[in-house]
Amino acid sequence: MSKLTYEVAEHAFCLLTSGNADWDTCLQQYAPFSVSEPASQPVFELEAIARGAQLAPAVEGFTEEQRQSDEASVIIVGQVAHRPCFEFVLHGRLSARLTATTDYRQGTVELGTDPGYGLNNALMVMYALSTACSQTALFHASVVGYRQRGYLFLGKSGTGKSTHSALWLKHIAGTELLNDDNPVVRMVDGEPRVYGSPWSGKTPCYRNVVMPIGAIVSLSQAPYNAIHRLRSVEAYGVLMSSISGKRWDSRIADGLHETESLLIAHTDMWHLACLPDREAALMCCRQVTAGQPT
């Protein structure tokens, strides 16, 4: 068994691997986050066991609570013997099964014939849930860096988050992509910060970077370009729909509520109704960066 340690957004975690799998390929995107000695106590330890075709298609006593579908992938959330259990399905085939302690400090993931997909999802779930009470949130967002600040673009799938980031990259000099799907946001000493992560969806952008947040922008498609600042109630709804978490668990829900409230108090939040064009990016940039240091 091999032990690996990583650090994402200043939270360390450990991975124990065993079984016959191409671990180097499975963990390639985690290389920028590898550490020999973590600066803090790991937030969780996950044991990964490669079972391949021997992964059991079902487990006795599994009770389903919720499922989430996204194109060809499905995450089924439930319990086994009063312990959290997650099944990760890809193209209709079980890829992995994760079981964890109720505080998500310890977990075991059994991997099937798509070990990279299953392991990546298990690590992401363990990270999001083990840090939820540490003023930390895993966002569904695309984020760019500009003038040493991070700008997050939120919205439902298909809204154009990645497209809007690409427009900043193309038309606004000095813009860089930090993450295109799952950045981490964390409050540190009262300051909201955004971090790159090993989870970036279909865009391979795995950067171990951090920036203070310049603004959070909710996007919607429209036949025009218009932007306005969000009120607190609007902002809270936007954050809730963009943050990963098991909200029917009261402890996790309370932790995420604290983080969301702090973000609203310390972050500029906007709504941009827009076309996928150059003018939308330029208008957004002018508005959300106004008054910020250059």
SS3 52: helix
Residue whose entry in the numeric block shows the structure tokens 């064009």: 277
**What does pTM read for this prediction?**
0.95
Query: 168, 124, 170, 140: which is closest to 288 by C-alpha?
Result: 168
**CATH 3.90.228.20 domain position(s) in the chain:** 136-289
Q: Distance from first CA to last CA of the chain, Å, rounded? A: 49
Return d(Cα 47, Cα 165) in angstroms, integer.
36
Query: 272, 285, 292: which is closest to 167 by C-alpha?
Result: 285
> Mean pLDDT for each consecutive 10-residue tract of the chain (294 residues)?
94 95 94 93 97 91 91 92 95 95 97 94 98 97 97 92 98 98 96 97 94 98 97 95 93 97 97 98 97 72
SS3 39: coil
Where are the alpha helices (H) located in the chain, listed in sequence order?
A: 23-26, 115-130, 161-171, 232-242, 250-266, 278-289
Q: Does domain 136-289 have CATH number 3.90.228.20?
A: yes
- The predicted pLDDT at position 294 comes to 66
